[in-house]
Amino acid sequence: MNGLMMDFQLTLPTLVRRAEAYYGEKEIVTRLPDKSFHRYTHGEACRRARALAVALQGLGLERGDRVATLCWNHHQHHEAYLGIPCGGFVLHTLNIRLHPSDLAYIATHAGDRAVIVDRSLKPLLDQFVAKTKIEHVIVVEDDYEELLAGADPDAWREPDLDEDEAAAMCYTSGTTGMPKGVLYSHRSTMLHTLGVAAGNPMGLGISESDSILPVVPMFHANAWGYPYLATMLGAKLVYPGQHLDPESLLEDFVQEQVTWTAGVPTIWLGILAMLDAEPARWDLSHMKGMLVGGSAAPRAMIAGFKQRHGLDVVHGWGMTETSPVASTAQLVGDLKDADEETQFDFVAMQGLPLPLVELRNRDADGNLLPWDGESMGELEVRGPWVAAGYYDTPEQADRWTEDGWFKTGDVVSIHPKGFVQIKDRSKDVIKSGGEWISSVELENALMAHPAVAEAAVIAVADAKWDERPLAAVVLREGQTATADELRAFLAPSFAKWWLPDRFEFVTEIPKTSVGKFKKTELRELFSGVPA
């Protein structure tokens, strides 16, 4: 017998209608390029988002067409987050930190037809746009206002959206091979928003009375859902624009009475250092905490914020493929009364899954591993906001198990209390300041150098960036090359921050029985990290 309830579609226009009706007066603030503040309301943002949808329809774009953004975190990007999917198009956030050749590939693969770009990022766009099928370039500070002015938000007719239609997409370079597109649906986005709201990490859950500043870029996995969460709850939003240095962020926190913020560890390490240097300068007594994820939040940083500044770090884990938030630190049961040091031990783990997300840990033979805090296997995840496949990339189907779980590539153990702890990574990548560097691409490029016989690139621990690339290089007999020469050889093909800091010249690269580079051994050799 079926239930007898409405088949109500979970689509983003519901959030817009709600924000306009109930939270129209709540504020959205942006730090502009000249460091002044732009202020308006959720109501105005929603109205302009509708105008954007009408304008895009007017450009002749059709249902399901991809509209890219190449932007910092600001209110126009927020409007794109709402207006593009509500107009029946797919918001495709392009990562401004990628090399133009990767961006050309990604925009072409996605089939982007239009792009909204910050004036400051137009030079980057100019380096790859001609290689794509993009027909409409809309510069935020110029054409965007004109486009909106010519569109009547009241001419808006909501397309009859199905909840399974794509709302947004984001490419991830998280594993080897070409970047892969994760395609979020309206339904997955709505459920992720509800899931994040229901997560209530460490009892610090977000509500209408919060002031949220997402430092996490809007070009990363939905800015961890904050634009949608704030729209759903009517919370104040503060966008930092391009000013992501610790001082500017601390100014924003104080002036805009920010209660909740989120980003990768590198950002928070910088902020902690500034707070430590001048604790009396910043009054953060209104702040509840910060979600830190994307890379492991160091325990010493978690303890530093709490003990020296009274601030709670909520550690979260997720992936582009999981929308992205999948687990957060939770001090549940007797942990609430545990001593501070024990609490830090738990917060330093990757946490417990959000409601509706399921996690399991399996060994290479597919056996489920016990929750003993020791047995290590690959973390697998499933849930309504976890990707079921990559866009137009059938060769990646083996990232999913036969019974439909997504294989994360993170090597974990699970504590008896259910806490996931990441121990290693089976994917061959380096995560520096929250952004991926492909070791395989660097190796291939290095091995194209005439003096290089073999090259393996590994991650070594770094206090500021979490990880940095190190290249182990075997030179051909009779040939020479210096680290500087090799770096200069790579420079034209890669973003500057991809270039290895260290080159180690070795006589051979250790190999596994099947002839693959044995990176565990290299890591042990050069960073002291045990295999």
Cα(24)–Cα(28) distance, integer angstroms = 10
Closest to ligand AMP by CB, 425 vs 468, is 425
Closest to ligand AMP by CB, 83 vs 293, is 293
Cα(93)–Cα(56) distance, integer angstroms = 16
Contacting ligand AMP within 424-443 (CB under 6 A): 425, 431, 436
Active site residue 427: no
Check residue 304 for interaction with ligand AMP (CB under 6 A): no
Check residue 414 for interaction with ligand AMP (CB under 6 A): no
Tell me which of 315, 382, 407, 449 binds ligand AMP, using CB under 6 A.
315
Contact 262, 214 (CB under 8 A): yes
Cα(229)–Cα(227) distance, integer angstroms = 6
- 185 forms beta bridges with 166
Nearest approach, Cβ of residue 172 and ligand AMP (Å) = 5
**Is the Cα torsion angle 53, 55, 58, 61 positive or negative in sign?**
negative
Tell me which of 73, 222, 295, 432 binds ligand AMP, using CB under 6 A.
295
Check residue 221 for interaction with ligand AMP (CB under 6 A): yes
Check residue 289 for interaction with ligand AMP (CB under 6 A): no
CA 119, distance to chain mean position in Å, is: 23
Transcribe 361-401 into DSSP letters. EE-TTSPBPPSSS---EEEEEESTTS-SS-TT-GGGGGGB-
Cα(188)–Cα(323) distance, integer angstroms = 8
Nearest approach, Cβ of residue 320 and ligand AMP (Å) = 3
Nearest approach, Cβ of residue 431 and ligand AMP (Å) = 6
333: left (phi over 0), alpha (psi -120 to 50) or beta: left
Contact 302, 347 (CB under 8 A): yes
> Could you tell me whether strands 211-214 and 260-263 are parallel, antiparallel, or unpaired per DSSP bridges?
parallel
**Cβ neighbours for 98, distance < 8 A, ≥ 6 positions apart:** 106, 173, 495
Catalytic: which of 132, 172, 231, 261? Answer: 172
Contacting ligand AMP within 154-193 (CB under 6 A): 172, 174
Active site residue 131: no
Check residue 102 for interaction with ligand AMP (CB under 6 A): no
Tell me which of 83, 87, 227, 293 binds ligand AMP, using CB under 6 A.
293
Tell me which of 350, 413, 432, 438 binds ligand AMP, using CB under 6 A.
350
Residue nearest to ligand AMP (CB): 320
Active-site positions read: 172, 321, 431, 436
Q: Which residues bind ligand AMP (CB under 6 A)?
A: 172, 174, 221, 293-296, 315-320, 324, 350, 408-410, 422, 425, 431, 436
